[in-house]
Structure 1
């Protein structure tokens, strides 16, 4: 995982996308010109809806970046290395032989699958995605395909992925795996996005794919039966033909959900904006913003720049209001402990969801047109385009018969919306245990709801507007 902002074009409107989906609900799409057709090329819209149903309802998941990079924890030769924790081998240009020595120090005896999964559940998360192999090539599972793994190369001799997969299912969460299929800095022939720096890395990419990546993908799919497979950082070396060999394997698991980072021209199931929330989301598409709690994915001992609970919770709401999922990362240390500031924030989000989860899970995008922000006339993003500046006033999610208005700023005596195409029949505050009715006045698209004097929650008080069709 490396921070980068992808260039995404503005897509068609929700109405157009929904109409098109309904028109072709029973017909499979035209086969894409891929060497091997993927499930997305052949399934009907109804089949896709069924396959994606749990994921669309979930809205909130835990990303876990955990691996050998947690041992140096951001330092090489006693000096801090700028950049991301999991990229330390690349950023410090650590030789392969030296990096592999960290394995002897990796003995995470404090790891406890129950504790991790219980934290995800307490946070209100519905699925987990953990790194099974990152770009450093170190496998977090016993692998017959390559000995550079947590069982064979470390004193730990356990299989944390097995324990997490089993515990997640015991507690009712879906389980997913991240696998770096393209970059591998310790395997001969593995891709290196920033270029190779050690002769030990030299080799043929196709051979790496056939002798390590594909065999390990077979292992994790067969052993852990993940609900999600999360690929990353495809390079030009992942040609359509080579990618099709992986797709042929994925097709053996027809319920599997996988993202748009395989490479070779395969779009996968989900768009994956990283470290940002698209201004309009991806109307008509499944998408998931992945984001860190501090500045890094893998553990760095000196990264204490943790986002506040307010920011994290409002990000979740903003994403849900645009029809997306929030995959929020934790970076455990080399002992197997999730940093306390991250755990504290997750529990706080969970407390809010205990009361207000109805307004997030299984919801649809906002029915209102307010964009809640604008493009700057002076600031540019990483692509040189006008930067989106959000306003944190309110957002809305919806379900049949209800609109959930998330009030970040208390508007005073009245909540007013000028483009209410819904027909309001009543209103109340979700956190009010009595659901005391609030006065609603509507004239055409002008909608007003009379509010009490104070907010019920300092971060987000949810106003429920009951609606009827037509």
Structure 2
């Protein structure tokens, strides 16, 4: 993760001329691009795309899992704490390849339970899971025959967590996707690396063991491992999540696209590189002010400040903040991919599990206002742009307000009220005719008084909210 590292940005701009703006959440360059191999997105019809993306668009909420060898140091190496995210510790502290690989014999996460993690996702109201099959450290979290640096061959655990998760996802009705670091690989000769400190300014390497040909790495490790992941888990993965496409030219990315095209129902993101757009925009750690009109998109975010487990990162976001994020994202037509970082035993930190379960309680009551909905039909601002603070891409920072948000279906408008108004809910312009209204958390669905004069709408509300975080007002409508 952490695509926006300054050291990596310049390389991304050089390697994929239109990719960087696309990757960090701004508009992609509209210049037409001819690819060496056409991706499915460039050949399918609109109807075919809609059918392929249907489940994903309805899901709205997914679980990201960052888990690997980096959970053993948990942010500390030889007494030094990293100031960065946990899964980047090898790069940030320039750990030699041999020393990092020596973590594998210590990795025995006997507390891992695929059943419990899938059950946690389900109880949270999450519809899909994306787990790190191989992160930038090059360690495969599955039974790879391509390279022995993996959880089955190199550790005393000897189990394939991805296979166990796939089995549980089938049983529990949750979809499964795999994250794969196609470019960065800090332990494979020739793998890409981000420039940090005194790393080689061209390759990013800091250890002679990393030297080699990137094309050989791509041909002999990355692409064969992607084939394993796509071929060996039956109907999974339904999503492939790429990241940090350093060195991924159009020609190199085309070799990956050849593999992806064999799986016509697959959904993959905009981080492959080589100017391929993929299916989804991936704003990281923020929610774009207007979403991405006309594009499928997914905000990936952490519960605390790290993706991979760090023992001392206790800066957990509140359940209120997490639910507001979900509502805000859904109101703009996006998905929320919320991360957990299991520890070296395979256990999900308790504060993360507790917050997910609390989110699930809200969704049990109010889920119909999130799942299968479209973006708001109102043009009411949801915040303002700061005159002094800078946000992503150096643009003015968007400061959200938390009064209400809205999601839509063909016959209903849902208003997620975050700050309870006095007396009534009012909008100056209501694009549809409202036929009736009630509160979703009211078991009786008692009708509320609706007054619609011209464009304006008022709905009389009870004196108190039914939920301390967000109470959903349902507006039944006709066009």
Aligned to 2:261: 251
d(CA) in 1 for partners of 2:305, 2:184: 22
The Cα of 1:9 is off from its aligned counterpart by 3.9
Counterparts in 2 of 1:283-298, with a 5 A limit? 283-298=293-308
Q: What are the equivalent positions in structure 2 for 1:172-251 lying under 5 Å apart? A: 172-194=173-195, 195-224=204-233, 225-235=236-246, 237-251=247-261
Contact 1:308 1:345 in 2 (8 A): yes
The equivalent residue for 2:13 is: none
User: Which 4+ stretches in 1 moved above 6 angstroms?
Assistant: none
1:344 aligns with 2:354: yes
Q: Per the alignment, in what secondary structure is the counterpart of residue 383 of structure 1?
A: helix
Contact 1:295–1:305 (CA under 8 A) maintained in structure 2: yes
The answer on 1:159 being equivalent to 2:160 is: yes
Q: Residue 420 of structure 1 aligns with which residue? A: 430
Q: How does 1:54-453 map to 2 (within 5 A)?
A: 54-194=55-195, 195-224=204-233, 225-235=236-246, 237-453=247-463
Question: Could you say which residue in structure 2 is the equivalent of 1:17?
Answer: none
Shift of 1:2: 1.5
Work out the CA distance in 2 between the residues paired with 1:158 and 1:332.
16
* Structure 1 alignment gaps of length 5 or more: 13-30
TM-score by length of 2: 0.92
SS at structure 2 position matched to 1:104: helix
Q: For residue 419 of structure 1, report the CA deviation from its aligned partner.
A: 1.8
Shift of residue 106, structure 1, vs aligned partner: 0.4
Query: 1: CA distance between counterparts of 2:126 and 2:431?
Result: 32
CA distance in structure 2 between the partners assigned to 1:326 and 1:383 by the alignment: 21
Q: Secondary structure at the residue paired with 2:281?
A: coil
Q: Distance in 2 between matches of 1:319 and 1:359?
A: 12
Give the CA deviation at 1:4: 2.5
Q: Which consecutive unaligned segments of at least 5 residues does structure 2 have?
A: 6-22, 196-203
Aligned to 1:50: 51
8 Å CA contact 1:380, 1:387 repeated in 2: yes
CA deviation digits over 1:297-329, x for unaligned, max 9? 000000000000000000000000000000000
User: How many matched pairs?
Assistant: 451
Q: Which residue of 2 aligns with 1:20?
A: none
In structure 2, what is the Cα distance between the partners aligned to 1:53 and 1:289? 18
Distance 1:11-1:211 versus aligned 2 partners, 3 A rule: closer
Say whether the 8 Å CA contact 2:3–2:243 is kept in structure 1. no
Contact 2:24 2:284 in 1 (8 A): no
- Aligned equivalents of 1:271 and 1:383: distance in 2? 15
Equivalent in the alignment of 1:21: none
Q: Displacement of 1:79 after TM fit?
A: 2.2
Deviation at 1:10, TM superposition (A): 5.5
Kindly indicate whether the alpha-carbon contact (under 8 Å) linking 1:11 and 1:283 is maintained by their aligned counterparts in 2: no
- Mapped partners of 2:60, 2:94: distance in 1: 38
- Quick one: distance in 1 between partners of 2:170 and 2:288? 32
Kept in 1: contact 2:64–2:129 (CA 8 A):
yes
Deviation at 1:32, TM superposition (A): 5.6
Separation of aligned partners in 1, 2:390 and 2:129: 34
Whole-Å separation in 2 of the counterparts to 1:360 and 1:50: 20
Distance 1:357 1:47 in 2: 27
Q: Using the TM superposition, name which of 381-390 and 297-306 deviates more.
A: 381-390
Could you give the per-residue CA deviations for residues 20-46 of structure 1, whole angstroms, max 9, x where no partner exists? xxxxxxxxxxx9611011100100000
- Give the TM-score of the pair, scaled to structure 1: 0.94
**285-294 vs 223-232, greater mean Cα deviation:** 223-232
